[in-house]
Amino acid sequence: MTEKNKPSKLTKPRSRSSIGAVRSPQSTEAILEAAAAILEEQGYKAFTMDALVERAGSSKPTIYRWWRSKGALLRDVYERAALTFVTSPDTGNLEQDLIEHLRSLWLWWRSSSAGETLRSVFIEIQLDVNAIEEFRQAFLPRRERTLRKIFARAVSAGEIADGPAIDAAVSMLTGMSWLHLVTANLDNLDDIDHSVAVIVKGLRAG
C-alpha cells in the first residue's frame, strides 16, 4: 500500500449513534426521556427546545429533523410512556372492567409525567391544522384501543349488543376522562363510577 492510499491516523471513526436521517435509537430514547423529565419536574411552561437540547445532549437540527413540531415530539413522549401502561382488566363484568381501566388511567396521569404530557399535546395541536388531523385520525384511535377491546369482549360475552352506541360510549368515556385531566380534577374518581354506570345501563337497555 502506498503512502497515498494509507488511511490517515487523524481520521476519526464515524459515530455509531449518528445514522443520518434515520433515527438513532439511543438518541431518540435520550430525547424522549429528557422531554418527559422536564415535563414532570417543571411542567409545560419550562418545556423549550433549548432546555431539551441541554438536558438530552442533542441538537436542535437533530430534534427538528426527527419531529416536525413540538406537538409531534410531545405525542411520542406520551406514547412512549403509554407502552409501559398496560391495563386491560378482564373480570368478566363490563362495568367493573371499565371502572378498573379508567381508575388506573387517571392514577397514572396523576402520579407521573403522562398527565402533563397529554395536556401539553392538547395545547400544541391547536396551533397546527395538520396536527389536529393526525390526532383525530391516528392518535385518538390508538388511545381508545383498550376501551374498544373491553367493549368487544362484552359483546362477545353477550353482555351488550354490538352497534353504533358503542362508538358513542367510547367517545363519552374518553371525553369525560380528558375533561377531568385538563381541569386538574383527577382526584374525583367517583365520577368514573357514576359515568360508567350510566353508560353501561344504557347499553344493556338497548
Domain spans, the chain? 25-81, 88-205
CB atoms within 10 A of CB 26: 11
Question: How far is it, in rounded angstroms, from Cα 155 to Cα 170?
Answer: 14
Cell numbers that stand for 157 in this block: 360475552
CB atoms within 10 A of CB 107: 15
Q: Regarding the domain delimited by 88-205, which CATH topology (the fold level of the hierarchy) does it fall under?
A: Tetracycline Repressor; domain 2 (1.10.357)
**Rounded percentage of the chain residues whose pLDDT exceeds 70:** 88
- What per-residue confidence (pLDDT) applies to 4? 44
Specify the CATH class of 25-81 in words: mainly alpha
- Predicted TM-score (pTM) above 0.85: no
Strands (E), the chain: none
- What per-residue confidence (pLDDT) applies to 85? 81
Cβ neighbours of residue 166 under 8 Å, at least 6 residues apart?
Answer: 148, 151, 155, 160, 203
Asked if pLDDT for residue 59 goes beyond 70, the answer is: yes
The per-residue pLDDT for range 114-133, each reduced to its tens digit, is 999 999 999 999 988 889 99
Cell numbers that stand for 46 in this block: 419550562
Are 150 and 88 contacting, i.e. CB atoms less than 8 angstroms apart?
A: yes
Q: Is residue 48 classed as helix, strand or coil in its secondary structure?
A: coil
Cell numbers that stand for 148 in this block: 374498544
**Rounded percentage of the chain residues whose pLDDT exceeds 90:** 72
Question: How far is it, in rounded angstroms, from Cα 80 to Cα 69?
Answer: 17
- What per-residue confidence (pLDDT) applies to 11? 36
The per-residue pLDDT for range 83-122, each reduced to its tens digit, is 888 678 999 999 999 999 999 999 999 998 899 999 999 9
The per-residue pLDDT for range 62-88, each reduced to its tens digit, is 898 999 889 999 999 999 999 888 678
Q: Is residue 92 classed as helix, strand or coil in its secondary structure?
A: coil
Asked if pLDDT for residue 55 goes beyond 80, the answer is: yes
